[in-house]
Structures are given as C-alpha cells and as structure tokens.
Amino acid sequence: MSAPPRSLLLDTHAAIWLAEGKLDDHAVEAIVYAGLADGVFVSPVSAWEVGLLARPGAAGRPGLHFLPDPQTWFSNLMGKAIIKPAPLTPSAAIAASALPGSLHGDPADRLLIATARELKLTLMTRDREILAYGGAGHVRTYAI
C-alpha cells in the first residue's frame, strides 16, 4: 500500500465527519500523516455548505445540527491544531467554471476541486462523482 498524501483538502463531508469523530481509522491516519507533513486544509466553501446544511429543509430533510450554532461549530473546527485554512482565490473561482473533463455543476464541488488543483492538494471525499473525476486524472483524490 502506498503512503497517504502529504497534504489534504477535506471536502465538506470529510470535515464534518472529522469534527464529529465519524471517520474510520484509515481516514484518520491519512489526516494525521498529512497534518504532520504538509497540512490538512479546509476551504471557506465548506463553511458556506455548513450554513446551507444547517437550514431546516436543506436537501429535503431537517437541517443538520451544528452546535451551538453553525458559525461557532465551524470556528471550532478551524481552531483544531491540525487544520489550516485553504484560500479561495479568484483564480480558483474562475477555474471552477472551466474544469477539464466531465463533471456535474455543483458549485461547491467545483470550487473545492479547483482549489485542490491550484494548491496541489489531494481532495479527501466520499463523493463518487468527484472520485470518478479524480480517477480520470483531473484532480488527486483520497476516498473515505
């Protein structure tokens, strides 16, 4: 088995699962390894998604509970020693509109992918479409 990535960008689900202690040992080991190497990053795009997920009726279900509130919850995540903020740059935002290959139009996913590409980070995700996009060679991915 190859070594885990030296740097990771957590997609929103990975960030939530990390904060809630719901990642498996394999994913936690990869995060610890990257944290000791070049870093574990979380994008402000994930803050936006947390806000959306917290709304009642989000995605046709009750809002998720980020306690005590989404902003404090996200600040606590970003306050973890292992987490670094990933910048959302204008160049990544523009690149998200013109990613190579075939990919759905979810703006959050596109922004995370463009950020990972720009910063040369491996995107930790469970999203099958992103993993397939990575399998096509367009972004480095790490499946959880």
Number of domains in the chain: 1
pLDDT at 1: 60
Q: Per-residue confidence of the chain (144 residues) as pLDDT tens digits?
A: 678 999 999 999 999 999 999 999 999 999 999 999 999 999 999 999 999 999 887 655 666 789 999 999 999 999 999 999 999 999 999 999 999 999 988 999 999 999 999 999 999 999 999 999 999 999 999 999
Cα dist. 138→58, 106, 131 in Å?
30, 16, 10
Range of 18's domain?
A: 7-143
Cα dist. 6→22, 39, 43, 69, 77 in Å?
22, 7, 17, 32, 20
Q: What is the CATH number of the domain that holds 103?
A: 3.40.50.1010
pTM of the entire predicted model = 0.94
Judge whether 2 lies within some domain: no
Q: Model confidence over 45-61: pLDDT tens digits?
A: 999 999 999 988 765 56
Judge whether 131 lies within some domain: yes
Judge whether 135 lies within some domain: yes
pLDDT at 104: 87
Closest C-alpha to 87, from 141, 41, 139, 140: 41
Contact of 47 with 16, CB cutoff 8 Å = no
